[in-house]
Amino acid sequence: MQYFYINQNSELPYLRMELVNDGKYEFLKSGKFFNAIQNADVSFSMRDENDVLKISNATCGIFLSEEEGCSPRYIIEYRWKKRDTSKKGKFSGQFKIDFKGDIYEEGTTYPDGVLIMPIYEDVCVMVK
């Protein structure tokens, strides 16, 4: 489980998550992820311990990481609003990428469908 801590009624720090290329999708291997994400909706949702939605499909940003590496790295970012952190507690967070699949380029097949993130670990948001 990944933990993220933020103070009550705070808007900083932003919640950021790096997308990991697990080698599963051909378009990621080909370095064309940026093209695929241009036609996708990226959102964040958060539920409290009683499974009640606190945030529902709020728009997120995605950008290229400034850190150097062998291949491009992408970061999803959610910018908090005061109402998001108005209540102390433990929340589960989830990012969603909804690929539209309407892009065709040089024989590359882009995905169509929804990718829920993180895949390997849950995000636990702790509002203190």
pLDDT of residue 24: 57
Exposure class string for 90-119: b at 16+ Cβ within 10 A, else e: ebbbbbbbbbeeebeeeeeebbeeeeebbe
Q: CATH assignment of 2-127?
A: 2.60.40
Longest CA–CA span in the chain (Å) reads 50
pLDDT of 57 above 80: yes
Q: Mean pLDDT for the chain?
A: 84
pLDDT tens digits, one per residue of 90-117: 999 999 988 876 666 666 666 677 878 7
| 3 CA to centre of own chain | 15
pLDDT of residue 125: 97
Query: Which pair of structure tokens corresponds to residue 9?
Result: 């009624």
In sequence order, the β-bridge partners of residue 15 are 78
Give me the residue spans of the domains in the chain.
2-127
